[in-house]
């Protein structure tokens, strides 16, 4: 089931962010039962950037994300049943049950892939953008990575090449201040993401306000320039994950961040802010719809079969075609 998102922008933003949160809260709740056969990296608290960037895209555009990919998959309009089944390791999952939460894809809606390997999206997105330009095809590419990907050489190489060739790509860093348990201050003498992009001649901007509407406007300006053939653009968007790096729990007891810091970010909740723009009756109808879509997806996943043993090695190596 691919549900149509609401027509009104404020309702659509709320619907997508609330769907991401509700889906992930359910996944977190059932995680101890072992129904989910995959590590999970939750976006609870940081739903807005993915939803906002997808808001400015067209059907011909492509997005590449990371292992923290449920949000981007939902925001881009991926099939919820197929993602739930994938997390459950079932044969009708979007990766046939072999990819798990960290390797989601829905190419039919331009959600190309996510990967567990930090920064892998960058060269792949850059290659896709190169192909679009080379073949003179319409569309732009969005590459979303975390702040940790900027520590990887391939991210810099990809930005450099994209600028050199004037590729139609929007580079996005979701800066949630940590890579696993390492804060920016332990990893970079200067967390100057925009300056790094500008060093390659890529115009850069930063979105700090925790408001999905503001993010949409920031992404729209950058995407428009890319679409206009002006070459790559870069946007850093500040955000924060509420749960642990991997797994369903909160983790302030680990000591790398404080409960006070988490509370400050929970206060800035984009979802609550977006809900504040909506009429109570509209909100309640959307919440009912979301609850039923999440229940439907999880029931579908539960009832689906596991892959057959003889399927184990299929689609693992390239065999001359996709069957």
Ligand X SMILES: Cc1ncc(C[n+]2csc(CCOP(=O)(O)OP(=O)(O)O)c2C)c(N)n1
Contact residues for ligand X (CB under 6 A)?
68, 116-118, 145-149, 176, 178-180, 245
C-beta closer to Mg ion: residue 96 or 206: 206
Residues 176, 210, 239, 304: which binds Mg ion (CB under 5 A)? Answer: 176
Residues 147, 238, 244, 269: which binds Mg ion (CB under 5 A)? Answer: 147
Between CA 206 and CA 173 the distance in angstroms is: 9
Q: Is 65 in the site for Mg ion (CB under 5 A)?
A: no
What single DSSP character describes residue 151?
Answer: G
Segment near Mg ion (CB under 5 A), from 93-101, 179-187, 249-257, 271-279? 179-187
β-pairing verdict for 178-179 and 182-183: antiparallel
Q: Is 146 in the site for Mg ion (CB under 5 A)?
A: yes
Tell me the closest approach of the beta carbon of residue 190 to ligand X, in angstroms. Answer: 16
Give the side-chain half-sphere CA count within 13 A for 110. Answer: 18
Between CA 96 and CA 82 the distance in angstroms is: 9
**Helix ranges, the chain (H):** 9-30, 48-55, 70-75, 80-87, 121-134, 153-165, 193-198, 212-227, 259-267, 270-275, 280-303
Residue nearest to ligand X according to CB distances in the complex: 146
Which partner in ligand X, Mg ion, none is near 29 (CB below 5 to 8 A by kind)? none
Tell me the closest approach of the beta carbon of residue 140 to ligand X, in angstroms. Answer: 22
Backbone angle region of 116, left / alpha / beta, with phi > 0 → left and psi within -120 to 50 → alpha: alpha
Tell me the closest approach of the beta carbon of residue 144 to Mg ion, in angstroms. Answer: 11
Tokens of 91: 């044969």
Tell me the closest approach of the beta carbon of residue 293 to Mg ion, in angstroms. Answer: 28
What single DSSP character describes residue 314?
Answer: T
Between CA 276 and CA 274 the distance in angstroms is: 5
C-beta closer to ligand X: residue 79 or 239: 239
Tell me the closest approach of the beta carbon of residue 19 to ligand X, in angstroms. Answer: 19
C-beta closer to ligand X: residue 118 or 129: 118
Which partner in Mg ion, ligand X, none is near 218 (CB below 5 to 8 A by kind)? none
* Residues near Mg ion (CB under 5 A): 146-147, 176, 179
């Amino acid at each position: 089931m691919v549900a149509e998102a609401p027509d009104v922008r404020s309702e659509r933003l709320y619907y997508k962010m609330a769907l991401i949160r509700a889906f992930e809260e359910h996944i977190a709740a059932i995680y101890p039962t072992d129904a989910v056969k995959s590590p999970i990296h939750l976006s609870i608290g940081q739903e807005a950037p993915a939803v906002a960037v997808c808001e400015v895209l067209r059907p011909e555009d492509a997005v590449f994300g990371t292992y923290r990919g449920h949000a981007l998959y939902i925001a881009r309009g991926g099939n919820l049943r197929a993602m739930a089944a994938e997390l459950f390791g079932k044969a009708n999952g979007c990766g046939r049950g072999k990819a798990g939460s960290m390797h989601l894809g829905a190419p039919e809606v331009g959600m190309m892939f996510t990967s567990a390997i930090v920064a892998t999206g960058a060269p792949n997105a850059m290659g896709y953008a190169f192909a679009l330009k080379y073949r003179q095809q319409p569309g732009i590419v969005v590459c979303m990575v975390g702040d940790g990907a900027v520590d990887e050489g391939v991210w810099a190489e990809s930005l450099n090449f994209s600028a050199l060739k004037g590729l139609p790509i929007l580079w996005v860093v979701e800066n949630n201040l940590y890579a696993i348990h390492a804060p920016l201050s332990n990893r970079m003498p200067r967390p100057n993401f925009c300056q790094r992009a500008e060093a390659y001649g890529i115009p850069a901007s930063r979105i700090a306000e925790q408001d999905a509407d503001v993010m949409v406007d920031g992404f729209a300006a950058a995407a428009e320039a890319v679409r206009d053939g002006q070459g790559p653009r870069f946007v850093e968007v500040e955000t924060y994950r509420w749960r642990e790096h991997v797994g369903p729990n909160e983790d302030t007891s680990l000591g790398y961040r404080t409960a006070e810091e988490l509370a400050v970010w929970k206060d800035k909740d984009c979802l609550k802010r977006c809900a504040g723009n909506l009429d109570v009756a509209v909100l309640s109808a959307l919440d009912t719809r979301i609850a039923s879509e999440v229940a439907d997806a999880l029931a579908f996943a539960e009832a689906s079969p596991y892959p057959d043993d003889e399927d184990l090695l299929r689609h693992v190596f390239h065999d001359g075609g996709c069957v």
